[in-house]
Structure 1
Amino acid sequence: MTIKVVRGNPTPEELAAALAVVRARAAAAASTPPGAARPRDAWADPARLTGRRLPQPGAASWSRTYWPG
């Protein structure tokens, strides 16, 4: 693995800290078996986009399709 500093002039301590993070992430990625399911991130949850429950299908569901607000 090659790391190249493109901009700036990091101190040896800063470079060592950044390299430690990269190596830890690489080791964690290598330790998980391929195809293992990752836990779903809360930001990817579609339920967080709605502040209330979605209308359920039914006889009068056409009247609940518009949410004023």
Structure 2
Amino acid sequence: VPIVLVGNKTDLYVDRMVTTEQGKRLADSWHAAFLETSAKQNESVADIFHTLLMEIEKADGNVQEQSKCIVS
């Protein structure tokens, strides 16, 4: 089962209770991807869903080496 550990509310850095390094170590121990985000500031929100989809594809053995998307 693919796991993505997400640290949210990075905009509240003064009140942070878990460091980025702690989050990364926990994710590593779970063999999971780790990302941090601020939904309020719209930081890295799309990256979370992209990473989750990539992890699902990887688990299914359907990893795409290159993006086939063209934006113009």
TM-score for the superposition, normalised by structure 2? 0.30
* Structure having greater relative contact order (Cα 8 Å, sep ≥ 6): 2
Structure with greater strand share of residues: 2
Structure whose CA Rg is larger: 1
TM-score for the superposition, normalised by structure 1? 0.31
